[in-house]
Amino acid sequence: MKMKGNNVMSKRLLILFCLSVFATLTGLAQDKRIEKTFKVDKTYILLPYCFESPETEVQLVMPNSKAVSPIRLNNSKIDYWAFWDVSPYKGKKVQVLLEDTPKNREIIDLIELSDDPRQDTILYKEKKRQQIHYSPPIGWMNDPNGLVYANGMYHFYYQNKPFAAMVGGHQFWGHVVSSDLVHWRQMPQAIFSNDKGFAFSGSALIDYENVAGFQKEKEKTIVALYTRVRPGISEQSMAYSNDNGLTYIDYEGNPVLETREKFGKGERDPKIFRYEKGGHFVMVLYEGDGNSIYTSADLKEWTYQSHVAGFYECPELFELPVDNDEGHKKWVMYGGDGDYMIGTFDGKTFSPETDKLKYNYGSLYAAQTFNSAPDKRRIQIGWGSYFYKGIREARDKYLQSATFPSELTLKTTPEGIRLLINPVPELSLLYTKTHSIDNVKTGSEEVKEVLSNIKSKQLHIVGGVELINSSTVGIDVNGYKIEYGNNTRVLNEKMEIGSPVIKELTLEIIVDRLSIEVYINNGLQYSYINYDSSDNEWGLSFTGSGSNVLKHLEIHELKSIWEDHN
C-alpha cells in the first residue's frame, strides 16, 4: 500500500473519531458519579475489562492531575485486567469515579489495588509480540512524543490508549525510559486526557536556566508542549515535571497558543528546542498546509515568525554537520511522512535549499528526535504504523509498535547533500551469535551452510552484494522477498535507489516477529515493513539472476529486549 496516503488518511480519521468520542463522553452528567478512594500502598489500580461491554467513562483523580478515559468494564465476564500505574502516589489518595448506574455499582467493588498486573499471559512473552521493538504492555500506541535525554536516561513518551488497543478515543502520553536505547523500562502515564480535552502529540526539553520559573529544587525542570484538543479547539498547552519526567503538572496559564487557523484547520504537534545562537526557544508547529515557526524567551509567550508550506503533521527541525564537519552544518526540516528539506535557519526563518527529498518508503510515520542527546547525536524514533481492514472492531489487547532507534546524519552524495538513517550501534548489545562470510556467490553451498546454522528469528543482517552480469538480486526473509532490479533501479517496486546502474547493493536489515526494517545504501533509503512471521517457519535465502557475489555478510542473532523483563 502507499504508506504516505494511508497514514495521512488514517491519522485524520483517528482525530475525527477522537473528537466524536470526547463529545459523547463529556456529555455525561457530572453530578451522577460513584467513587472509590484508595490510599496508595501498591503499584496498580486494576479494572475488569470486557470487549463486549458498552463504553463508559472512568475518571482517575490523582494529586495535581485528573485522567479521563472511555473503558469497557464488566463484573461477570472479564477478558483481562486493565491496569493503571499509581506508584508515583504511594502514601497519597487517588480516586476512581464511574457514572452512577446499577451495573457500575457492582463493577466498582471489583476495582482494587495490586502489585500484580494480573495478566493471563506473561507480558512481552506473547507469540505475536515484537521482541526488538518497543510496544505498550496493554493498549494502543502511535506518535512518539517528548523525546528528551535527562539525567542519564532517554525518555520516550508516546501517544497511548492505556486500557485497550482501540483506534481513537482519549489519548494519553505513555512513558518508557532507557539508558541504552535498547532496553525499555515501563513508567506510569505522564500527561492525560481530561475534561479540558485530549492530550495529543508534542515534545519536551530541559529548562536549564529556569526561564519558565517552574523549578523548585536542584532538579532541572522538564517542560513539555503538547496539543490539547476538543471539538472546534486545537490549542497548544504546557506541562512541566520536577521529578525527572515521572509526573507532569499542567501550567495554570494554558493555553500558551490558542487556536488560530491562519493557514487552515489543523494546528498540532509542537516541536520545541532552544536555538543556541539566539538564546531563545523555537516551536515548529503544524498549521493547515505546512510548518509554522514561533519563538519565545520564556516558553510561555510565543511569537509567530514564518511558515513553510508543503508538510503534514509532526514537524521536526534540527541542525547537523555535513560529513561530520563541524564547520559545515545544515538544517533539516521534515513532516510526519519523513519527507524532508535541507537548508539554513536563522532562528526565525527556515530557508530551503532543496526540493522535498525522500528516504522513507515504508510504514514509519510521525518520527521525532531526542532533545539533549549525548555527543550531539540526532537519534530518531518513529511509529511503525499498522492499519488493517476491521481494525476498529478488532479485539486486540495491544497494538502498534515503535521503529528501532536510528541515528541521522548528513552526507554529501553525487546528487547533493542527503539525510542518512542507520540503526543506533547499541543494537549490538543484543547480539548472541554472529555468522559471517566473505566473497562467495549468493547461491553457493557455503552460503547455504551458514544460513542453515541460524536458530533465532530475530536478526540483524548486514551485507553487500556485488551485481555481476545481473539484473536482479534479492533476499527472502521468513517468506518476505526484498528484491532489487538493476534495470528499473527500484527495490520492491517502490524504493528508488538513484544511480543509473549500481555495482554493489548494501543492505542492513532488522528482523522481528511482526516487522522487517530495511536500510539501503548506508541509510540513503529506508523502509519499515509490517510483516507477521510469528507463525512462519524460519527461512533465509538469496535470489537473483547472474553471478552475484556476497562481498561481505554478517548475520547477528538477537536476544529479546524483554529477556530480563519482570
CA separation for the pair 476, 352 (Å, rounded)? 40
∠ CA 331-239-148, rounded to 5°: 40
Which residues 6+ apart lie within 8 Å of 167 measured at CB? 14, 17, 140, 391, 392
Range of the domain at 190: 139-423
Instruction: Based on the residue annotation, tell me whether 143 is a catalytic residue of this protein.
Output: yes
Cα-flanking dihedrals φ and ψ of residue 308, to 5°? -120, 115
Q: Are residues 414 and 431 in the same domain?
A: no
Say what percent of the chain tops pLDDT 90. 74
Per the structure, the count of domains in the chain is 3
**CATH number assigned to the domain comprising residue 438:** 2.60.120.560
> What does the DSSP 8-state code read for residue 381?
E
Q: Are residues 99 and 183 in the same domain?
A: no
Q: Where are the alpha helices (DSSP H) in 178-225?
A: none
* Per-residue pLDDT at 484: 83
SS3 at position 105: helix
Whether residue 146 contacts residue 155, with contact meaning beta carbons closer than 8 Å, is answered with yes
Say what percent of the chain tops pLDDT 70. 89
| 129 domain-assigned | no
Q: Are residues 233 and 350 in the same domain?
A: yes
| 21 domain-assigned | no
pLDDT at 491 exceeding the cut of 70: yes
Q: Are residues 419 and 435 in the same domain?
A: no
Q: Are residues 380 and 433 in the same domain?
A: no
pLDDT at 302 exceeding the cut of 90: yes
Q: Are residues 101 and 172 in the same domain?
A: no
Catalytic residue chosen out of the listed positions 143, 207, 337, 339: 143
pLDDT at 378 exceeding the cut of 90: yes
> What does the DSSP 8-state code read for residue 130?
-
Q: Are residues 65 and 175 in the same domain?
A: no
CA separation for the pair 315, 336 (Å, rounded)? 6
| Averaged pLDDT, 295-316 | 98
Q: Which of 404, 423, 442 is the last residue of a domain?
A: 423
Integer CA distances (angstroms), 477 to 168, 386, 522, in order: 33, 20, 20
Q: Are residues 204 and 311 in the same domain?
A: yes
SS3 at position 407: strand
Whether residue 123 contacts residue 561, with contact meaning beta carbons closer than 8 Å, is answered with no
Residue 288 buriedness (CB in 10 A; 0-12 / 13-18 / 19+): middle
**What confidence tens digit (pLDDT) does each residue in 18-66 have?**
555 554 444 444 558 999 999 999 999 999 999 999 999 999 999 999 9
Output the nine-digit C-alpha cell for 215.
Answer: 523549578
| CA neighbor of 477 nearest in space, from 537, 421, 388, 400 | 537
| CA neighbor of 564 nearest in space, from 123, 201, 159, 137 | 123
**CATH number assigned to the domain comprising residue 304:** 2.115.10.20
**What confidence tens digit (pLDDT) does each residue in 70-85 have?**
999 999 999 999 999 9
CA separation for the pair 360, 1 (Å, rounded)? 14
Q: Are residues 302 and 396 in the same domain?
A: yes
Q: What residues are paired with 530 via a beta bridge?
A: 515
Question: Which one has a higher pLDDT value, 505 or 92?
Answer: 92
3-state secondary structure 423-461: ECHHHHHHEEEEEEEEEEECCCHHHHHHHHCCCCCCEEE
Q: Are residues 478 and 419 in the same domain?
A: no
| 436 domain-assigned | yes
CA atoms within 13 A on the CB side of 79: 15
CA separation for the pair 565, 542 (Å, rounded)? 35
Q: Are residues 418 and 470 in the same domain?
A: no
Q: Are residues 214 and 156 in the same domain?
A: yes
CA separation for the pair 354, 349 (Å, rounded)? 15
| 329 domain-assigned | yes
Q: Which of 423, 440, 461 is the last residue of a domain?
A: 423
| 16 domain-assigned | no
Tell me how long the chain is: 566
pLDDT at 367 exceeding the cut of 50: yes
Residue at grid coordinates 548506508: 522
Lowest-confidence pick of 177-181, 258-262, 282-286: 258-262
| 320 domain-assigned | yes
| 317 domain-assigned | yes
User: Does the predicted TM-score (pTM) go above 0.85?
Assistant: yes
Q: Which of 389, 404, 423 is the last residue of a domain?
A: 423
CA separation for the pair 317, 24 (Å, rounded)? 37
| CA neighbor of 461 nearest in space, from 473, 479, 442, 475 | 475
Question: Which one has a higher pLDDT value, 391 or 136?
Answer: 136
| 363 domain-assigned | yes
